[in-house]
Structure 1
Amino acid sequence: MIDPKRIDLPDFLVTWYGAPSRSATPLPDSCDWLPDPLKEWHTLTSRWEKRLTFTTTMIPPERIRIAEDGKAIFMVDATGDWHWCIDPDDPDGVFDAERYEPWGRNPEQLTEFLVHNTVREVVYGAGARVRALAVPEETLTEILAPMEEVAFGAWEWPAPGYRIFMGGAALAETVKADSGPGWDVEVVASEFGRLSHLEGISGVHWRR
């Protein structure tokens, strides 16, 4: 497995989104209380004008506020149903919850969490993307052969059981099929030419 600590986020962003187009935007002094990994993520990603998140929204750092329960929401999903927060008394931790549910501790520390979310968002923002449903186990193994699983922590959102694989200039996300046997799989790359080898795998109906 790939250790998430081995993923160099600046290099990863350049690989998938191209070279940064501007200098980093310094955070205002009002953000000094935020955990370093979160400040560093916002400073780094400010160098790209391109959109970097598609299924989640990062709260602008200057708008992050500590609520009455002592938590501060820093990210929400696209539907507004899931929220992720930090706790100033536990700066390395991440907590998440579906709307109206109590906070639960995410299995990842903040640094790894931010890498995980940045990598996962590429699945929905890459220039080339194909998807197949209910893929048999042996076929999935063939699809993922050039890749290696990333040892990210298990999230409850968007559903339990999602796994991410990287390698060969591609990235894949898999999850057990909703109904029946097999796996749903999405594979992405910077251009469709890098996914052409998938067309030779028999028994798979790829959708763009």
Structure 2
Amino acid sequence: MIDPQSIDLADFLITWYGAPSRDEKPLPAPCDWLPEPLRNWHTLAARWDLRLTSTTTLVSPENLHVADDGMAIFMVDATGDWRWCFDPAEPDLVFEAERYEPWERSSETLSELLVHNAVREVVYGAPAGKRAVAASDEVLSEVLATMDEISFGPWRWPTPGFRTFMGSMTVAEAIRSSSSSGWDVDVVAPTLGRLSHLDRLSEAHWRTRGQ
């Protein structure tokens, strides 16, 4: 398995989004209270002109604040219904919950969760991808033959059970299909040509995006 902490976020983002368009610029002094992993993420992400997330939104550092319950919400899903927060007294711990539900401790530390989110966002934002629904165990095994699973902690959002894999210039996400005994699997790459080998898997029916 791949240790999430072994993934260099700067290298990962360059691989998937190209070279950054600006030099690193420190966050303003009023943001010094934020946990270091979160400061590092915002400093890094600000180097690109394009948005690096689509299914989640990282609250801008200037808008982060501690709510009445003592928690600081730093990330929300695209609808704003699922939220992630930290306690400034224990900033490496992450808590999450659907809106109006009580906070529950996340399975990951803040630094692990930020890496997890960056990798997962690539599945939805990469230039090229293929998706198969209800793929068999055999097909999934062939798809993942050149990849290793990343040992991310389990997420409750959006649906529990997702597993993430990474290879050379590829990322895949797989979950048990709700409609059959097979797997729903997404595989992405910077270019569609890197996924051409998947078309040889005759049992898989792929939906393709990108060029």
Q: TM-score, length-normalised on structure 2?
A: 0.97
Query: 2-side partners of 1:100 and 1:179: how far apart?
Result: 30
TM superposition shift of 1:168: 2.8
Moved over 6 A (4+): none
For the aligned residue pairs, the C-alpha RMSD in angstroms reads: 0.8
Query: 1-side partners of 2:89 and 2:107: how far apart?
Result: 17
What residue in structure 1 maps to residue 15 of structure 2?
A: 15
Q: Name the aligned partner's letter for residue 46 of structure 2.
A: S
Number of residue equivalences: 208
- What does the per-residue CA deviation read over 1:53-90, in whole Å, with 9 as the maximum and x for residues that have no partner? 01000100110010010000000000111000011011
Q: Name the aligned partner's letter for residue 60 of structure 1.
A: S
The gaps in structure 1 that reach 5 residues or longer are none
Query: 2-side partners of 1:192 and 1:37: how far apart?
Result: 33
Q: Secondary structure at the match of 1:96?
A: strand
Query: 1-side partners of 2:161 and 2:25: how far apart?
Result: 36
What residue in structure 1 maps to residue 79 of structure 2?
A: 79
Q: Secondary structure at the match of 1:107?
A: strand
What residue in structure 2 maps to residue 41 of structure 1?
A: 41
Query: 2-side partners of 1:159 and 1:35: how far apart?
Result: 27
TM superposition shift of 1:165: 0.3
Query: 1-side partners of 2:169 and 2:23: how far apart?
Result: 27
Following superposition of structure 1 onto structure 2, how do residues 42-121 of structure 1 map, counting pairs within 5 Å?
A: 42-121=42-121
Query: 2-side partners of 1:88 and 1:198: how far apart?
Result: 46
What residue in structure 2 maps to residue 141 of structure 1?
A: 141
Query: 2-side partners of 1:70 and 1:53: how far apart?
Result: 26
Query: 2-side partners of 1:107 and 1:88: how far apart?
Result: 18
What residue in structure 2 maps to residue 173 of structure 1?
A: 173
Query: 2-side partners of 1:143 and 1:118: how far apart?
Result: 22
Does the alignment pair 1:196 with 2:196?
yes
What residue in structure 1 maps to residue 164 of structure 2?
A: 164
Q: Name the aligned partner's letter for residue 154 of structure 2.
A: A
Query: 2-side partners of 1:6 and 1:66: how far apart?
Result: 31
TM superposition shift of 1:129: 1.1
Q: Name the aligned partner's letter for residue 99 of structure 2.
A: R
TM superposition shift of 1:30: 1.2
Q: Secondary structure at the match of 1:117?
A: helix
Q: TM-score, length-normalised on structure 1?
A: 0.98
Query: 2-side partners of 1:168 and 1:196: how far apart?
Result: 14
Query: 2-side partners of 1:88 and 1:184: how far apart?
Result: 38
Seq. identity, %: 62
Query: 2-side partners of 1:177 and 1:129: how far apart?
Result: 19
TM superposition shift of 1:118: 0.4
- What does the per-residue CA deviation read over 1:88-145, in whole Å, with 9 as the maximum and x for residues that have no partner? 0111111100111100010111111100000100001100011000001111101110
- What does the per-residue CA deviation read over 1:15-53, in whole Å, with 9 as the maximum and x for residues that have no partner? 111111112232111111110110011001111111100
Q: Secondary structure at the match of 2:111?
A: helix
Q: Name the aligned partner's letter for residue 132 of structure 2.
A: A
